[in-house]
């Protein structure tokens, strides 16, 4: 039987694509692959007393059932650096279904990466099966699949620990701790990079970034968090591949943005994001306000809000992403409100409300900011319009608002960023009013009546009445 010509060409093209893909994969996996090193207990700083009891339970049960199991990732890295890990991840030769059979308190999650979550109350131990090398064919898309730009859409190919080490992102995150003999296994030179303070991607950087563009954000985050430098070959492709971030789902980018900017090292991360052209795909609305001198009101308020957030986290104080976004998008909001006022003839208050919708809608195209946060952002913004109206009982009512403190903090940031004398006086007044005794507060409100009202009033233009026709016509 003679096959149609187009079918023959299709088969030939698919065969060539498969061969080339395999060669690229083998070349990438061959880059900088040191031999496996075993670091004995006496040569590393990890102790079981610093590991979560629940993580140890998972490791011991997997080992007892005959499976390989190791602590891996950021938990091992942080323990080796003398830091306290936030969470502990486990990798094993057991498949997700086999893990679920061992733990009644387990649920399987994820389609892109199939994982087992073993739950101990509020603590979740994430268990992943060793990943294997990815070779996509037409018949295996239920387990692995790439997008047009090389991005991995699904990756559930399982393999050995050696393959798993090559599939991880950075060398410092590819260290394996065994509770069986208390050793650390290093397949990619991670210990040396950890000692030298280097963030190095495993494999060919461009290929790995195309597989998952979020790795570019992670490189910057780890460099800022750990005060390390990004290796030259890892850093070089980032600026020219930064637009790949646009292919990442907005919901995932929102979660990544919180890790980047609200983990105690936001200011250093922000500087690196700008250096590597990664800030623009995350916040396209904001970057058009940046200047070569880096001294616009927008840049000053962003610098200060990140520094303030970092200080609050270092002092174990609560932080809310709503305040961060309210400060970052304040100037785009002002510009949009002014534009709507001029074009529509609406009052400034109504134009301001419409502008809030437009600015937040545009922000959510890049980051899927949840409604619970955008509603708080709106509250903080609307309170800015009320801060100058203090006469009568307004000041006391304003202080009763749940987001008053956040609104006051934004007012203070604006006064500092804009170097505006009137805003500085208003900030000082509210600072004194909050701590004053009731009699002193009454005096402060009485004194307001003696001050000229310099507040700008935005009035709706008066419409002219239609001219009446003369009866004498």
pLDDT in tens, 374-411: 999 999 999 999 998 888 888 899 999 999 999 999 99
Does the pLDDT of residue 192 top 80, yes or no?
yes
Where residue 31 falls (left for φ over 0; alpha for ψ -120 to 50; beta otherwise) is beta
Residue 50 a catalytic site member: no
Residue 193 a catalytic site member: no
Whole domain around residue 209: which residue ranges? 204-282
Instruction: Give the model's pLDDT for residue 349.
Output: 93
Catalytic entry in 78, 89, 164, 212? 89
Instruction: Give the model's pLDDT for residue 11.
Output: 54
Local confidence band at 426 (pLDDT 50, 70, 90 cut-offs): very high
Q: 177 vs 38, 92, 149, 250, 443, CA distance in Å?
A: 10, 12, 35, 34, 66
Instruction: Give the model's pLDDT for residue 26.
Output: 45
Whether residue 213 contacts residue 239, with contact meaning beta carbons closer than 8 Å, is answered with no
Does any domain span residue 3?
Answer: no
Residue 78 a catalytic site member: no
Considering 196, 229, 251, which residue would you say is the last residue of a domain? 196
Tell me what percent of the residues of the chain surpass a pLDDT of 70: 82
Catalytic entry in 155, 164, 169, 186? 169
Does any domain span residue 303?
Answer: yes
Instruction: Give the model's pLDDT for residue 33.
Output: 53
Whether residue 161 contacts residue 176, with contact meaning beta carbons closer than 8 Å, is answered with yes
Average of per-residue pLDDT across 24-38: 58
Does the pLDDT of residue 286 top 60, yes or no?
yes
Tell me what percent of the residues of the chain surpass a pLDDT of 90: 71
pLDDT per position as a tens digit, 326-341 = 999 999 999 999 999 9
Does any domain span residue 173?
Answer: yes
Local confidence band at 111 (pLDDT 50, 70, 90 cut-offs): confident
- Supply the pTM of this predicted model: 0.81
Q: Which of residues 237 and 157 earns the better pLDDT score?
A: 237
Instruction: Give the model's pLDDT for residue 1.
Output: 43
Instruction: Give the model's pLDDT for residue 145.
Output: 45
The chain-wide mean pLDDT, for the chain, equals: 86
Does any domain span residue 268?
Answer: yes
b/e burial code for range 126-139 (CB count within 10 A of at least 16 → b)? bbbbbbbbbebeee
CATH of the domain at 375: 1.10.3090.10
Both 157 and 210 in one domain: the answer is no
Whether residue 283 contacts residue 333, with contact meaning beta carbons closer than 8 Å, is answered with no
Whether residue 155 contacts residue 144, with contact meaning beta carbons closer than 8 Å, is answered with yes
Both 314 and 352 in one domain: the answer is yes
Both 212 and 188 in one domain: the answer is no
Enclosing H/E stretch for 396: helix 394-399
Average of per-residue pLDDT across 14-29: 48
Average of per-residue pLDDT across 214-243: 97
Strand 106-109, strand 89-92: pairing? unpaired
Does any domain span residue 247?
Answer: yes
Local confidence band at 157 (pLDDT 50, 70, 90 cut-offs): confident
Both 164 and 65 in one domain: the answer is yes
Catalytic entry in 50, 87, 140, 358? 87
Both 232 and 251 in one domain: the answer is yes
Does the pLDDT of residue 252 top 90, yes or no?
yes
Instruction: Give the model's pLDDT for residue 92.
Output: 96
Local confidence band at 137 (pLDDT 50, 70, 90 cut-offs): very low
Instruction: Give the model's pLDDT for residue 465.
Output: 52
Both 124 and 44 in one domain: the answer is yes
Both 428 and 352 in one domain: the answer is yes
SS3 184: strand
Does any domain span residue 24?
Answer: no
Q: Which of residues 390 and 275 earns the better pLDDT score?
A: 275
Exposed/middle/buried for 435, CB within 10 Å: 0-12, 13-18, 19+? exposed
Does any domain span residue 15?
Answer: no
SS3 155: strand
Does the pLDDT of residue 463 top 70, yes or no?
no
Both 347 and 389 in one domain: the answer is yes
Both 183 and 112 in one domain: the answer is yes
Local confidence band at 149 (pLDDT 50, 70, 90 cut-offs): low
Give the whole-angstrom CA distance, residue 244 versus residue 220.
15
Both 74 and 213 in one domain: the answer is no
Local confidence band at 464 (pLDDT 50, 70, 90 cut-offs): low
Considering 219, 254, 282, which residue would you say is the last residue of a domain? 282
CATH of the domain at 183: 3.30.460.10
Does the pLDDT of residue 431 top 50, yes or no?
yes
Local confidence band at 448 (pLDDT 50, 70, 90 cut-offs): confident
Does any domain span residue 455?
Answer: no
Does the pLDDT of residue 153 top 60, yes or no?
no
Please tell me the total count of domains within the chain: 3
Give the whole-angstrom CA distance, residue 74 versus residue 176.
10
Both 126 and 167 in one domain: the answer is yes
Both 221 and 271 in one domain: the answer is yes
Average of per-residue pLDDT across 175-201: 96
Q: Which of residues 367 and 29 earns the better pLDDT score?
A: 367
CATH of the domain at 222: 1.10.110
């Amino acid at each position: 039987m003679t096959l149609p010509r187009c079918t023959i060409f299709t088969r030939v093209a698919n065969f060539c694509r498969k061969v080339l893909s395999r060669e690229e994969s083998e070349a990438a996996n061959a880059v900088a692959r040191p031999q496996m090193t075993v670091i004995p207990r006496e040569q590393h700083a990890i102790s079981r007393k610093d590991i979560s009891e629940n993580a140890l339970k998972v490791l011991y049960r997997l080992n007892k059932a005959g499976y390989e199991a190791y602590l891996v990732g950021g938990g091992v890295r942080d323990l080796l650096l003398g830091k306290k890990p936030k969470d502990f991840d486990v990798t094993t030769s057991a498949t997700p279904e086999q893990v679920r059979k061992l733990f009644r308190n387990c649920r399987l999650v994820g389609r892109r990466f199939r994982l087992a979550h073993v739950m101990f109350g509020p603590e979740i131990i994430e268990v992943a099966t060793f990943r294997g090398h990815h070779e996509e064919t037409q018949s295996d898309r239920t387990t692995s699949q790439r997008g047009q730009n090389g991005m991995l859409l699904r990756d559930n190919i399982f393999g050995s620990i050696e393959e798993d080490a090559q599939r991880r992102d950075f060398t410092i995150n590819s260290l394996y701790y065994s509770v069986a003999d208390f050793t650390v296994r290093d397949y990619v030179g991670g210990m040396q990079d950890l000692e030298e303070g280097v963030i190095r991607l495993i494999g060919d950087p461009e290929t790995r970034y195309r597989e998952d563009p979020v790795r570019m954000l992670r490189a910057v985050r780890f460099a800022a968090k750990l005060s390390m430098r990004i290796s030259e070959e890892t850093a070089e492709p980032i600026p020219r591949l930064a637009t790949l971030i646009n292919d990442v789902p907005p919901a995932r980018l929102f979660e990544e943005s919180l890790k980047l900017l609200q983990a105690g090292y936001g200011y250093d991360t922000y500087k690196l994001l700008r250096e590597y052209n990664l800030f623009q795909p995350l916040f396209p609305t904001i970057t058009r306000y940046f200047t070569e001198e880096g001294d616009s009101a927008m840049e000053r308020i962003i610098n200060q809000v990140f520094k303030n957030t970092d200080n609050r986290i270092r002092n174990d104080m609560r932080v809310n992403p709503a305040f961060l976004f309210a400060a970052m998008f304040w100037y785009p909001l002002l510009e949009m409100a002014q534009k709507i006022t001029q074009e529509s003839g609406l009052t400034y208050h109504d134009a301001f409300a419409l502008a809030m919708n437009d600015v937040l809608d545009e922000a959510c195209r890049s980051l899927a900011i949840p409604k619970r946060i955008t509603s708080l952002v709106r509250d903080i913004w609307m309170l800015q319009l009320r801060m100058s109206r203090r006469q009568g009982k307004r000041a006391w009512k304003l202080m009763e608002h749940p987001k008053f403190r956040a609104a006051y903090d934004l007012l203070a940031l604006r006064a500092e960023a804009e170097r505006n004398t009137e805003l500085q006086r208003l900030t000082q007044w509210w600072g004194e009013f909050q701590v004053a005794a009731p009699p002193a507060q009454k005096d402060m409100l009485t004194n307001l009546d003696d001050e000229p009202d310099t507040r700008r009033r935005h009035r709706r233009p008066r419409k002219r009445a239609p001219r009446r026709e003369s009866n004498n016509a």
